[in-house]
A and B are shown apart, each in its own frame.
Chain A
Amino acid sequence: MNRILRATAALGVGALVVALSACVAETDTGTIQGAPSADADDLRCGLGTGEEATGEPIKVAAVATASGGVDFSSSPSSAKAYFDCVNDNGGINGRPVRYEFGDDALDPTKTAQLAAGYASDTSVVAMVGDATFVGCDVANVEYEKAGLYSITGVGVPQACFESSNIAPVNAGPRTSALATLQYFERQGQADPFFAIGLNTRGNGDWVADGIEKYTQQAGIDLVGDVLSDPAESNFLPLVSQVKQAAPASLVVVDPAPITASILATAEQQDAKGDIQWACTASCYDAQFGEQIGYYWEGFVANSELALVTAEGEDANQWRAVMDEYADADAPRDTFSQAGFLAAKIFVDALLPLDTENLDRETVSEAVLGVRGYESDLLCAPWYYGEADEHHANHATRMAIIESGTYVELEGCQDVADPDMAEILEREQSEGLLTE
């Protein structure tokens, strides 16, 4: 029986994959429309010698959620693309970076296993470009024991921002939601306000907590703060609540597919009204505007890094490196920028070191010592530093959908979070914002 079942699976699945892979390659466009074209100088990564690094490889790893329903692999993929570019340009003073990443398949047990595996392999000098959706807490336990540090590309749950050995390049959903709220506040459109999120522990509740605290502090009337089940199919109640509450603006802090369904229901009920609808960076991706349709012209989203079409030294290099070193169908999104930037920060931290003496200890010291790192992808300098929480990215940009695509609405703005006082204080007292 097994053989026959396997044959069925192989046959049916095989035929479909073959049929579909043809379609998919065509639709996922490799290059970004509306972005400035690449320059040859953009591919001078790292030392920029143009010579291949042939020395003893330096082992670097990452843990990311690539399967199980969520795909964050664009972060390690772009990190890998950058490392490949560095290796073609003299590497880390002649030594190439050997990079690999493990997929935790949305399973924290698997995250812990992968983290423990990399932690026990002492030839792994650092973790770069990680993007696990579920396991920052369990991974941090392993890293801490082994003195291993991660320059994480994308962190989503609270634990990713409150760990000693993990520091994300992105801003996270809480900051992104607060950024959206504060944008509306600046426009005089935030009162009353409505927030929609996901009922997930350490994530949705963390975001909701931030919005509650901030609205209270700012004297904004929060007329709705709804957390829905991730498996919810019926968004009509939610839309009715929004209609009834009649806020001036609202933010959806859900993964893009759920946001799209909520918007579809709202469109079906013609519930857009005079409300300013917006979402966090999770739905800032090129496909989104086209998917939700013309009804949602003027929809607003937060962007945790520079817009994918932005002009700038690092923004240009990111696009050029992706075109040259990544798969044509690899996503060109914020997560991809984050992975790229994590890898770049890492390389820039290692270049000044003594190449002969690169081990986990010296690398960790260099990584911890990163401070005042500037990039046009970021709004403010990024830093690591020794602390129990890491949340350097707290200044973001806003985008708006015009003719189905996102364009910049507002440039860099600092985001206020009542719970981040300690971080801000440390930035000043330890001088983390300057090199």
Chain B
Amino acid sequence: MTALEISDLRIRRGGIEVVHGIDLTVNAGEVTALLGANGAGKSSTVLAVAGILRDTSGSITTDGTTIRGLAPNRVRRAGVATMQEGHRVFGDISVADNLTIASLLLPRHERAEAVDSMLDLFPEIHGFADRPAGSLSGGQQQMLALATALAARPKVLVIDEMSLGLAPLVVARLVPALRAVAERGVGVLLIEQFTSVALELATSVTVLAQGLVTLRAPAKELLDHPEKLTAAYRLTEH
């Protein structure tokens, strides 16, 4: 089942087109990896899906609902959660309240439970529930960011650079957590610097280079033939 459907998406930043009509499908219960070199248009795609970049054309839909051009909070209400780059959390607000803010989308009686279940999901941050999120380590903040994105039970989760700048130990902790998320039926779109992490988690892989899709393949195939990936990264370079 398709959780997120992107077709012919074009994105302009500062009036200049940086993504030139890409198609992308994220299936429910699967991790789809979006790879590519720096400046390929991955982050722009995330920001466009999240509703932060609005100078776009084409279509982005979830569950048959168009979300392209909606404000970020309406995108989130449509079921698409985004985890922005750089373990972004409300630094001066307590860990528990970070989760509370995200849980406000839920009916009143479900909020407290959602916050508790997220704290249970990451025991590492459970003990710091009353501390300001800014005082956590980078890895803990990334866990909190993931928990925040998941708190209001999204149907689609878009992650921009999950493991960037994190210790391998932390990454090893996040990978199974993310896999569990997908197994619960959430469609995950993962932007990832480390191809090894991406290929380990993903079912299918899409590669962007200079704003165009240069490769679409099952993750398994790329694990066996890494040279295809390297080629796709460079495809449009002359």
**Are chains A and B touching in the complex at the 8 Å CB cutoff?**
no
Q: Which residues of A contact B (CB under 8 A)?
A: none
Residues of B within 8 A of A (CB): none
